[in-house]
Amino acid sequence: MPKKTSVGKRKDNVVKTVATAPLESSFDEVVRLIQQSHQRAYQAVNAELIDLYWRVGEYISRKLRSAEWGDGVVAQLAHYIQLHHPNIRGFTRASLCSRA
């Protein structure tokens, strides 16, 4: 006879549940689907960030090569981003120069 799902006593606003083996298998499948989706989302974000860094570096390099910008402009850009867009992180002078 299969084991039934039971709900234990409530302690500190936490309900302990004991699931049967078939339910656990189903629950594990749902967790696997969630984890796979999270992994694909992380990979998509990482790919987009790499593309962004590439495009920013290419833009800065082009400006420096064409002499539209001098060396000090990259520091000004980093300061501008920090001052006007404090929620955008990781674009310091050093990191912008390394991307250029």
pLDDT at residue 97, as a whole number: 86
- What stretch of H or E contains 27? helix 21-65
Close Cβ partners of 1 (under 8 Å, ≥ 6 residues apart): none
What Å distances lie between residue 42 and 55, 87, 93, CA to CA? 20, 20, 27
Tokens describing residue 56: 């920013």
Per-residue pLDDT tens listing for the chain (100 residues): 455 555 555 556 655 666 688 899 999 999 999 999 999 999 999 999 999 999 999 999 999 999 999 879 999 999 999 999 999 999 999 999 876 6
- The pTM for the full model equals 0.66
- Please list, residue by residue across 5-16, b when 16 or more beta carbons sit within 10 angstroms of its beta carbon and e when fewer do: eeeeeeeeeeee
pLDDT at residue 71, as a whole number: 78
